[in-house]
Structure 1
Amino acid sequence: MAIGRRAGAYICGVDAAMDVIGGKWKVLILWELSLRPYRFGELRRALAGITEKVLAAHLRELEADGIVHRQEYDEVPPRVEYSLTPRGVALNEALEPLAAWGKVNVLGQAPEPAA
């Protein structure tokens, strides 16, 4: 299923992927959600420096792109949890080599041994 918010065709797959994960916070949101489902306030506290407005906007965009699932519970007070969809899990798996590159080439950490 092709998803695209931008008008016109993408140049390549990297262009399309960057449209989905572009921005300062989206990759960090994906990283946190890979650990466990979060409620909005928990996620905001886990991402020091993000504003409520930006987090809400990014979560809406990621949900629209099929990356994040928003689960509403019929409780009082209302409860909403965010988690990754299978597409979001696959995206995180695709980002793992980029994270490994950053650890070695930017942070100067030793590469992890191959499994």
Structure 2
Amino acid sequence: MNDDREGTTDTAKVRVRRAPKIPVFLIAGGGLGAVVTFIVTALYPTDPNIGFGTLFGYFLIFGIPAGVVVGAVVALLLDRRASKHAQAVDAERIHVDAVPEEVEGEIEQ
């Protein structure tokens, strides 16, 4: 479709960088915290009155948040590193006026 509308262009310097997806790091850190909690709980003998599942569940209260914190720290360190390696590029923005109603009806047909 040929667009004959006129617009104004605007050029600006912008910084482009690859930023980590922080929620992915938080979820992965929580999962890693759960796995480490399972391994540490399994290494030591459990009280038969309490049971392994109850003990593991109790320690998950501490293991998952610790893993989330570790994941957040890793994500923030990678984000800081990415901001140092950001590149400045020229970006062009085109402002186009709205299509008049007469022309809009012709386009739909």
Fold conserved between structures, TM > 0.5: no
Mark the structure with the bigger radius of gyration. Answer: 2
More helix by share: 2
State the TM-score bracket (shorter-chain normalisation).
under 0.3
Q: TM-score, normalised by structure 2?
A: 0.23
